[in-house]
Amino acid sequence: MSTTVSKKPEPSPLGGEHVRQSPLTRIQHLLHAQATIGPAVVLLVSIVVFALMSDRFLQPGNISLILQQVAVVGTLAVGQTIIILTAGIDLSCGAIMVLTSIVMAKVAAETGLPGLPALLLGFLVGTACGLINGMLITRLRLPPFIVTLGTLNVFFALNLWYSESATIRGTEMPSLLLWTGETFTIGGTRITYGSIMMVVLVAVMAFVLKNTAWGRHVYSTGDDAEASRLSGIRTGRVLLSVYATAGAVYALSAWILIGRIASASPQAGQMDNLDSITAVVIGGTSLFGGRGAIVGSLLGALIVGVFRNGLALAGVDVLWQTMAVGILIIVAVSLDQWIRKVKP
Amino acid sequence: MTTPVLQARGLVKRYGKVTALGGSDLELLPGEILAVIGDNGAGKSTLIKALSGAVVPDEGEILVDGNPVSFSTPIDARDAGIETVHQSLAVSPSLDIASNLFLGRERRRKGVLGTVFRMLDRNGMREEARRQLDALGIMTIQNPGQAVETLSGGQRQAVAVARAAAFGSRVVIMDEPTAALGVRESRAVLDLVLQVRERGLPVILISHNMPHVFEVADRIHIQRLGRRKAVVDPKFVSMSDAVAIMTGAMEPPEEAKLT
């Protein structure tokens, strides 16, 4: 090797000096710049592994099943993501969804309200629930964790009260409410309209976050609320709009939920509150706010769906599926902590 | 006498029983760098916050180009052409440089894409960010699409200064811009301060660092016990005299007094 040391030009103090990086540091920087690469790789690897473990995994029927199973949590995760991006959390999302689904179904079943107005009423209820969360957080300045822990119980109780703990059967509802469970066929794979709605919702929200001022403000509010305020962003309004939007998104989840189970049950979606947070976290969005992406959350929901389905096909007991998801969460959060330590 | 670009008269701000400002004045003349120095608790920060709209004074008035104004939010001050570089920089680390430069005043695309779909003009903002950074000689930041958290302390400061210089039409206020920086980074940021003045924008520079103050300031405003003690010409006082006036150990000499 050459032993002469070439005189490098003095780097400017405001300049980016190029330091030789180790491969690990390079991976860290890459993940830092593109947070969705991690979950995308995990999803691809797990699909390949499960396909090798079971012939049935990649069959159209099974793919269709995974997509159906993921659609409800996948849409909830969209609302959850925009809230977590603002450094908040929503423990009440599942309760809002169930309450909304009961309102849509029961009002239509009891009063004979047609499908469209019933649906709109549901969106109104979902948005209102989100708005209540947002008001409590911005006006009373309570932590989102506490507010949504409270409203989780409030909304769930309202749901039990209004439904009288009874399930509304699909046959009692207008067909529009069940439309999300209907399917069409592409290349032998039956796909529900609900799954398509999830993908469209993810695309729209990803576009809005990336390309509108509101989207930039969601990120900056979660990143540094005080800096955003000094930059002239009305952070209270941003938070309020985020929680209200999330509420509307949960109403969409409610519609998909009704289609999925072909009924409206006050006991449905009990696990979905936490599953949506799981999807967001595995998808690479930071719980500290300001960092992450909607597409990551869809990937996160798909990863959980693929793991559960693949392990089941491989004949692994349900308890190990649950453990696998638990380990995934911890790995994802550790990865996030490591990525955040990136040095300039 | 020329009309001050920015003027404060008898500003009072009390926090409960504590008087942070006890009738403070300030004048910023066109095209100058006015340094504001003072001991801890002298009311520098409160004075600056009042001028940048972050604090509403209890009494007194603020005039821009001789016209009385009242700022109730930082946005009001910004609309009047007063930009502030806060000590905390007020940047969002995870967003890119261009997004930070335009944070809170994003540009939308022309036509339907902008009005109906509310799409941001990302390319336009990046180009403008590039132009602003180049104009201040910050060529070393290669890519305005880079996240701010990947920048060094001095580069972040440069981004915050570029934002203020880009949008400040009357006044740029800088609160301790060199406090967290090393020697060479401080040097570069002081050059930025001088360049902002060269563009014809007057600057209010708050600093604890006497060598920095004496190097760039045209006049030095000395704040003491919530009031303006004196405005001195840095050519006629020494650094130790300035510190002595600041701490009350010495009265300002008549020949150095400008106000």
Among A14, A214, A220, the residue with its CB nearest the CB of B140 is A14
| A5 domain residue, yes or no | no
The predicted pLDDT at position A281 comes to 92
B119/A344 touch (CB, cutoff 8 Å), yes or no: no
Choose the mutation target among B94, B113, B116, B118 for the interface with A, i.e. most A CBs under 10 Å. B94
Spacing of C-alpha A204 from chain mean position: 14
pLDDT score at A83:
97
- Which sequence spans correspond to the domains of chain B? 6-93+170-256
Measuring CA to CA, how many Å separate A66 from each of A49, A191, A218, A262, B31? 16, 10, 31, 17, 67
For residue A26, give the H/E element and its range. Answer: helix A23-33
Q: Is A237 on the interface with B (CB under 8 A)?
A: no
Across the interface, whether the CB atoms of B188 and A13 are under 8 A apart is answered: yes
For residue A344, the chain B residues in CB contact (below 8 A) are 149-152
Type of residue found at A59 = Q
Beta partners for residue B38, in sequence order: B223
What are phi and psi for residue B55, nearest 5 degrees? -135, 140
Please name the member of B75, B89, B138 whose beta carbon is closest to the beta carbon of A14.
Answer: B138
Structure confidence by residue, pLDDT tens digits, B3-35: 899 999 999 999 988 888 999 999 999 999 999
pLDDT at B206: 93
Please check whether residue A328 lies inside any domain of the structure: yes
pLDDT digits (tens, 9 = 90+) for B38-87: 988 888 888 998 999 888 999 999 999 999 999 988 888 988 999 998 88
| Distance from the Cα of residue B123 to its chain's centroid | 28
Min distance A256 CA to chain B CA atoms (Å) = 26
Low-confidence ranges of chain A (pLDDT < 70): 1-21, 342-344
Output the pTM of the full model.
0.85
Nearest by CB to residue B90, choosing from A14, A214, A231, is: A231
Structural domain count, chain A: 1
Grouping H, G, I as helix, E, B as strand and the rest as coil, residue B86 is coil
Mind listing the pLDDT tens digit for each residue in B110-158?
887 877 777 888 888 888 888 888 877 766 677 888 888 888 888 888 8
Q: Is residue A24 part of a domain?
A: no
Q: Would residue A308 count as lying in a domain?
A: yes
Taking contacts as CB-CB distances below 8 angstroms, the residues of chain B near A229 are: 74
As a whole number, the mean pLDDT across chain B is: 87
CA B86, B92, B97, B102 torsion-angle sign: negative
Structure confidence at residue A189 (pLDDT) = 81
Contact flag B103-A233 (C-beta cutoff 8 Å): yes
* Host domain of residue A80: 40-339
ipTM above 0.90? no
pLDDT digits (tens, 9 = 90+) for B197-256: 998 899 999 998 899 999 999 999 999 988 898 898 888 888 998 899 888 888 887 777
Distances (CA, A) of A132 to A245, A266, A274, B7: 12, 21, 20, 44
Which residues of chain B neighbour A13 with C-beta distances below 8 Å?
154, 182, 184-185, 187-188
Among candidates A13, A229, A291 on the partner chain, residue whose Cβ is nearest the Cβ of B184:
A13
| CATH assignment of the domain containing A284 | 1.10.3470
Is domain B6-93+170-256 classified as CATH 3.40.50.300?
Answer: yes
The pLDDT of residue A17 is: 45
